[in-house]
Structures are given as structure tokens and as C-alpha cells.
Structure 1
């Protein structure tokens, strides 16, 4: 029963409009028993949200003696900034590291963890057994891995041998022609299945050796 309904009922019943103490208490108990008051009462979540809001409001108050509230707010803001920076350092750097590692492993559509020295040794072993196809492929990979290890040319996944040769030719202009011939030898053997020869192997090996002795002029990145 709402207050208006209670008033109308009292008027219709002829009951006294100014009750005594006991009668007033009974009226109040009946009125507060109405479900509408339960619905309007704040829930536990409402009280929690209000408490949190008051805490944040108090956090940034500046009228605390000695400016403690303002100082605490600045400290809290500093902690938030530190947490954000730490998150970038923890989760941002590994992503860059993984990307750099993927670029290091990728050599012309294949992953190869061998160093330039290992690839050269394997190429020399294949050449000693006159397995020229394998020797040419390995030596050209050694050439590419060598310039990547020196940090002068980057080979992203999907880079072709001729794109690499052009990029390396800008870094080592004196070897640009030999780089193109070496890339063609690699293409012929690796993709066109043409037979390798000792002569082609020597072209790739001599180009690799010349680049090892040459100082790079610029830095370059192979188009992906």
C-alpha cells in the first residue's frame, strides 16, 4: 500500500488522521511491509559499487591534510604507467624477437637453422662428392646467410633469389653481376631441375668468397 492509497483508505474509513503512538507504529509497519520498498532498497552490488566509487573519489581528493590524497593519486598513476610500460617490455619484445628469428631462419621458402659456415662446409662436402646440384644450392644459401649474419641484407619469408641478388647488389655493387649469375644458377638447379656443373658451382663459390672480403656500402632489405 502506497502512502497515497493509505491516506485515501483512512479518509474513507473515517479513522482518525492523527493516530496515537501505538497506532502510528502499526501504520508504519504495515506501510514498510509493502514490496515496493524492498524493490527500492539498494542491493549488495549497489552498495559495493557505491563503496568503490567513493574510494576512487577519495583517492583524488586534494583536501587531505598535508596533501596526502594528491600524493597518493600521483603515486597510483605512476604505478599504472609502470605496469603499462612493463607489459610492453614483456609482451612486445618477444614478438619482435620471434619475427626476427623467423626472418633469420627463412631462406627462399625454406627454414634452415644452419649458419653460413655450416652451409659452406656442407656445400664443400657435396662438391667433393661431385653432387653439383646440392653443392650449388647449399653454397648460394651460405652466401645469403652470410650477408644476413652481417646485418647488411634482410631476407623476409617469401623473398626470391633474384630479389635477394638485386638487394645484395646494391650493398655490394662490384659483385652485382656475379650475384645475378649465382641466383640464376640456383634457380636453374633448385626450381628448373637443370643439372648442376662444377663451373656453376665455382661461380657461386667465388661470388660468396668475394662478398666475404667486401665491405658493404649500404644496408638493404629484400622485398617480401
Structure 2
């Protein structure tokens, strides 16, 4: 039946060719969307082993049970840590690569608004911060610097845009927590990024005061 389904309207496939075709068909992602995750499989295996041990354990096997519990907990923690580390690395690569390329601040604001409307708050926060960076560089507050972090941007720009320093620092901190600390983004984070964008555009640039003349102390 499977062989016929894999070759509808043609001659039936049989023998090794049928086995190969069936394996190829059943390996497609759509047949595995509901498969348990690696973490779930580890937990299921651990639970089954514990059930088996506990159902047959006498007082002499309690040490074995305790050792298995500790080992299972360590294994589960390792799996979760590896999954989280992989997710953070993917996020870091996405931030660094910037697949959208150089966009204007207007483009970043529009992208932020689209993500915000869709409830994609992490992406919205990122675009608001990119908008801030583009505005700061366009106005000559800071020179463009590839690889500058959000915290570095807020610290350096805050000295020249004191009216926007506080909210920009808060938005940069939220960005770091979301994209590198694995914290879920919220609508409040989106509003904070929007406020930082507005503050940066409205803030006046404070130029460094010229150094006061120095006079020698009379001897």
C-alpha cells in the first residue's frame, strides 16, 4: 500500500526499491512534527527506569534508586543547558549578522511597528534599538562602529544626549536580557524601546565644553 501511494498511477514498487522509497517518504518532516523533543524523551526514559526500579526495589536497592535519580537529574540539566546555549548562540549570530543590512532609522521604526502589531516584542525591541543607533549615527552624535553593543551605545550616547540617557540605558538593558539572557519579551519592553526611539530623536546634543584655561598657582 505504501509503495503504491509513493508511486500513484504507476507500476507498483517492490523489493529494495519499495523499502528505500518508503524510508525516504517517512523521513519527511511532516511525519515527525508531533514527535517528542529530546528533553521529553530523556524525561520519559528516566521516568520509565524509575518506575521499574521502584516497583521491584527492596530496601537493599534504595541506593541504586538514589544514584539513578541523581544521574537522571544531572542528565536532564545538561540537555536543557545545551539546548539553551544553542538557542542563545543562534540569537547572537542573528543579531551580529543583521540579515536586513544597513537600513535607515525610518525603515527600522516601520519594522519595529510591524513586529509590535504582530506581538513579536523581541523583534520589535531589537528594531527600536537599531532605530536609536541609526538616529544617533546620522546626527553625528557617535561615529558608526560595527559590533557596538546596545550597552556601549547607551553609555556613549548618553553623555551627549543626557535627556535620553536614562530611557536609552533601560531599553539597552532590556534588549540584552531578552536576546542574550533568554527572557521573554513583553509589551512593556516594546513600549520602552518606542520611548527610547522618541527620546533619542527629540534630545538635544550636548557638546563637550571647552576646557577652562589653566593658570599657574603663584609661588
Q: TM-score, normalised by structure 1?
A: 0.47
| Larger of the two Rg values belongs to structure | 1
Q: TM-score, normalised by structure 2?
A: 0.48
